[in-house]
Amino acid sequence: MMNDIASQAANDRSGKKFAVKEADYSTFQRLYALGQCTPDLSSLDCENCLRNAISQIPTFCNNRRGCRITFFNCNIRYELYKFYNSVSPAPEPASSSSSPPPSPPPPSNSTSSEEGGGISTQTIVAIVVPISLAIVLLVVGFCIARRSKKTYVCTIFSVGASEISITESLQYNLSDIQAATNNFADQNRIGEGGFGPVYKGTLHNGQEIAVKRLSGSSAQGTEEFKNEIALVARLQHRNLVRLLGFCLEGEERILIYEFVTNKSLDYFLFDPEKQPLLDWSRRYKIIGGIARGLLYLHEDSRLRIIHRDLKASNILLDRNMNPKIADFGMARLFGVDQSEGNTSKIAGTYGYMAPEYALHGLFSVKSDVFSFGVLVLEILSGKKNSQFNQAHGGDDLLSYAWRQWRDGTPLALVDPTIGDTHSRNEVIQSIHVGLLCVQDEIEQRPTMASIVLMLNSNSITLPAPNPPAYFGRSRTQSSPNDLQVSDTSTGTKSPSNPSINEVSITELYPR
């Protein structure tokens, strides 16, 4: 019956993603069940979410006469009494700012419930209570009640202005993770970042996972760890990596992601032997997918999210070479009416950071746009921005791309391994978009919505790009020296003392 509900809710034509069903449980009892997703989910994502919740029934609902399992985007519930109104849908599942209400008690002496399954007095009172007060009371009450029954564990994380409830359904036991990764065996290690190693694992049900194990000396602290959990668990997009869960036991801080088959973009893009596998059609698809993922983060998710560390190693590729943006440990969460902020702790990777962020700690959606522009030029050239000047007379990638564009030879930038398979118009348009993204003036950089439109239309006239931020002297060259910069590619920190051309970082040490 629950599986039928999952299918019905996912394909609900009303768009409410809601379904209920009842059946005889015994001669004298009937079983009532409900399933619902948030309306923003696609039918496929809704059904997957519900079936994932259903799979938890043996673990959390064993031998119980009623049970409710709630994820961020969906929930299921069954009882031996009619707990829902048969005419109108049940309340939507929890959003990013609230937790699901506790299950109402079974009807006892309520005449209306016994006679027709109507709404009880307690339910009416609960609905009338002001929402602001209800949210606080329900979160606290739910956590306390569930803790006493040892059914769920509820933890409240504070991220910016929002409080996000993480249920035990996202939490894994350390023993399960150790078994999945063969106790973090070296042969299971598939990557190494500034925050620690990444392992491939296989759960007892056969599902492949990627396990990010934060090192004890990791630059990512507890707040960043909680930040990544809270952010990624709520995101639903085909171009974003999906977080399956986390583990917090002792000193261990572990994130469990879906396993993405083809590793990261830099694995192919900067390896001369693997570069030919990225023909133009694949590179163009990767550029478009990254753009759509960023557009979702900036404008289409519930809250505006600025990634702050977009780079080739944080773009994963699935079996069809579709890109998925990963690693949200440095992301910042904003309200829908916010678009920028500042910080004294600079976190990111040299070569991808916008100058206003690297020098002054000012970050915005346009900071991600700058990083996207650098990434586009790397995908086109097959060269790392940070290493480009070693082979091109001191020019960094941005300056070289600008010179070629200015001189009317933009195709000189293109990776020779692409050969003649590329579309000249698509390549030139991509170079044009990349140069627009890395302009020095923040307001001149396009939004991700404009970029997606530019990449998908041949009829739009693009504005002429201005010199990139690192081309000669920049208006942002005056810099305070009290900012700390964390390079996430190495996990190190240093004071930000840029050189006069803003290409290199000078670190001063006493003699």
Tens digits of per-residue pLDDT, 265-299?
A: 999 999 999 999 999 999 999 999 999 999 998 88
Structure confidence at residue 122 as a pLDDT band (50, 70, 90): low
Count of the separate structural domains present in the chain: 3
Give the chain's largest Cα–Cα span. 88
Structure confidence at residue 229 as a pLDDT band (50, 70, 90): confident
What is the model's pLDDT at position 311? 92
In a domain, 420, yes or no: yes
pLDDT in tens, 460-469: 889 999 999 7
Decide which of 211, 231, 258 is a domain's last residue. 258
**Amino acid (one-letter) located at 506:** T
Q: Which of 95-104, 179-188, 301-310, 334-343 has the highest mean pLDDT?
A: 179-188
Please tell me whether residues 448 and 299 are part of one structural domain: yes
Please provide residue 332's backbone torsions phi and psi, each rounded to the nearest 5 degrees: -120, 140
pLDDT in tens, 105-118: 444 444 433 444 45
Beta bridge partners of 202: 208
- Average pLDDT of span 149-175: 49
Please tell me whether residues 414 and 477 are part of one structural domain: yes
In a domain, 132, yes or no: no
Q: Residue 208 pLDDT more than 60?
A: yes
Please tell me whether residues 270 and 254 are part of one structural domain: no
Please tell me whether residues 374 and 476 are part of one structural domain: yes
In a domain, 134, yes or no: no
In a domain, 124, yes or no: no
Q: Residue 161 pLDDT more than 90?
A: no
- Average pLDDT of span 471-486: 44
C-beta neighbour count of 384 within 10 angstroms: 17
pLDDT in tens, 336-373: 344 454 444 555 577 788 888 777 778 788 999 999 99
The encoded tokens of residue 276 equal: 């030919």
What is the model's pLDDT at position 132? 61
The encoded tokens of residue 424 equal: 């000249």
Please tell me whether residues 387 and 283 are part of one structural domain: yes
Give me the sheet containing 252-258, strands edge to edge. 189-193, 196-202, 208-213, 252-258, 243-249
**What CA–CA distance (Å, rounded) separates 274 from 289?**
20
* CATH code of 87's domain: 3.30.430.20
Instruction: Provide, rounded to the nearest whole percent, the portion of the chain with pLDDT above 70.
Output: 65
More confident residue, 24 or 511: 24
In a domain, 146, yes or no: no
Please tell me whether residues 359 and 411 are part of one structural domain: yes
pLDDT in tens, 52-64: 889 888 877 877 8
Please tell me whether residues 76 and 223 are part of one structural domain: no
Q: Residue 249 pLDDT more than 70?
A: yes
Q: Which of 257-266, 315-324, 334-343 has the lowest mean pLDDT?
A: 334-343
Please tell me whether residues 406 and 326 are part of one structural domain: yes
CA angle centred on 162, ends 156 and 165, rounded to 5°: 30
Residue pair 77/22 in contact (Cβ under 8 Å)? The answer is no
* CATH code of 224's domain: 3.30.200.20
- Average pLDDT of span 249-262: 86
Please tell me whether residues 220 and 320 are part of one structural domain: no
C-beta neighbour count of 3 within 10 angstroms: 12
What is the model's pLDDT at position 507? 40
Query: Which residues are known catalytic residues?
Result: 309
Q: What share of the chain is helix, strand, coil (3-state, %, to 5)?
A: 35, 20, 45
Helix H or strand E encompassing 246: strand 243-249
In a domain, 61, yes or no: yes
Beta bridge partners of 317: 323
**What CA–CA distance (Å, rounded) separates 51 from 74?**
10
Q: Which of 59-68, 181-190, 230-239 has the highest mean pLDDT?
A: 181-190
* CATH code of 324's domain: 1.10.510.10
Q: Residue 483 pLDDT more than 70?
A: no
**What CA–CA distance (Å, rounded) separates 126 from 101?**
10
Q: What is the CA radius of gyration of the chain?
A: 26
Range of the domain at 377: 265-495
Q: Residue 185 pLDDT more than 90?
A: yes
More confident residue, 143 or 298: 298
In a domain, 510, yes or no: no
Q: Residue 498 pLDDT more than 50?
A: no
Instruction: Provide, rounded to the nearest whole percent, the portion of the chain with pLDDT above 90.
Output: 32
More confident residue, 146 or 140: 140
In a domain, 419, yes or no: yes
Please tell me whether residues 99 and 208 are part of one structural domain: no
**Confidence (pTM):** 0.59
What is the model's pLDDT at position 486? 52
Structure confidence at residue 196 as a pLDDT band (50, 70, 90): confident
The encoded tokens of residue 469 equal: 């931020």
What is the model's pLDDT at position 446? 96
Decide which of 258, 284, 312 is a domain's last residue. 258
Mean of all residue pLDDT scores within the chain: 75
Q: Residue 73 pLDDT more than 70?
A: yes
Please tell me whether residues 274 and 419 are part of one structural domain: yes
pLDDT in tens, 367-394: 999 999 999 999 999 998 877 665 555 5
pLDDT in tens, 20-61: 999 988 777 889 999 999 888 888 888 888 988 898 888 778
- Average pLDDT of span 81-102: 54
Please tell me whether residues 370 and 273 are part of one structural domain: yes
Q: Residue 475 pLDDT more than 50?
A: no
